[in-house]
Amino acid sequence: MAIGTAETVNDYRACAGSRPGGRCNYGELMEFMRSARERTPWTDANHAVYKDNGRLNEVETAKKCYQKYQERGRFMNFPANKAMKGNVWEWNDYIMKLGDRVNFVHQKKNHLAPEGVFEEFDRVRDDINKARAGDHGDHLIEAARGRMRMPVYTKSLGNNPATNEQWRTVDWAETANKGRAAGFDAAAEIRTFLNGFYRNPTPTADDNAAARHFHVFRSYKYTNDRAVSCGGRGMQKV
């Protein structure tokens, strides 16, 4: 990741910060990766929350991040090439390569890492995946109910920590079971919908947004599968 002393490798310059060894704190790292279109600066004092042990409190910090972008009215990904060296320009490529790098360090240098750091990484990845599913859920439910002939059932994913609003998504198991009981070819109905919604060759704007979510879900699944195969780590399914 982009934490370390200044260097240039394949158009990548690592963040140089105020922590020992030139490492960046959260605010410095986010300010370093800030897109030119994002005018409000990041600061550690305003946008980071730390635990008593000095590690970042990821949930409370995420809330501050959410509030910052809510004020702007738009959420933006940081440029992937600023976060990792190796000509990483595409967001999903960044997610998978980050997971591979963490797995490599876990295998080779686990004994040198602070206690619990890899478990924290897995938990945060799990939380991000659930948040993306929750954010996408209302759109998925609306599209499924508008395009499928059989009833669509939903399930809760918990509450959004920043707003306390409930996250919901389609409960595919219950939808399939009750659809079959009602005489539908549930598997074919669901397959046709998912192919049209996520892989439509002539997509609507909503289909394009859904496809982007789908590719991110696949990237997170890849990182989870690799974590399981490379060290017995992994996240829960949502």
On whether both 72 and 162 belong to a single domain, the answer is: no
On whether both 81 and 156 belong to a single domain, the answer is: no
Q: What is the pLDDT of residues 28-80, one digit of tens each?
A: 999 998 876 677 788 999 899 999 988 899 999 999 988 887 766 667 777 78
Position 193 scores a pLDDT of 95
Mean predicted confidence (pLDDT) in 143-151:
96
On whether both 150 and 221 belong to a single domain, the answer is: yes
Asked, for residue 130, whether it belongs to a domain, the answer is yes
d(CA 150, CA 127): 31
CB distance 127 to 238 below 8 Å = no
pTM of the complete model: 0.77
Mean predicted confidence (pLDDT) in 165-177:
97
| Residues in the chain, total | 238
Decide if pLDDT at 122 tops 80.
yes
Position 86 scores a pLDDT of 77
On whether both 169 and 217 belong to a single domain, the answer is: yes
The residue ranking higher by pLDDT, 159 or 214, is 159
Position 59 scores a pLDDT of 92
Residue that terminates a domain, selected from 66, 89, 112: 89
Asked, for residue 237, whether it belongs to a domain, the answer is no
* Confidence tier at 4 by pLDDT (50, 70, 90): very low
What does DSSP assign to residue 42?
A: P
Decide if pLDDT at 180 tops 60.
yes
Give the chain's domain count.
2
Helix axes 117-147, 205-231, angle to 10 degrees: 150
- Its domain, for residue 189, covers 125-231
* Confidence tier at 203 by pLDDT (50, 70, 90): low
Decide if pLDDT at 5 tops 80.
no
d(CA 193, CA 199): 10
Position 157 scores a pLDDT of 95
Asked, for residue 116, whether it belongs to a domain, the answer is no
On whether both 81 and 154 belong to a single domain, the answer is: no
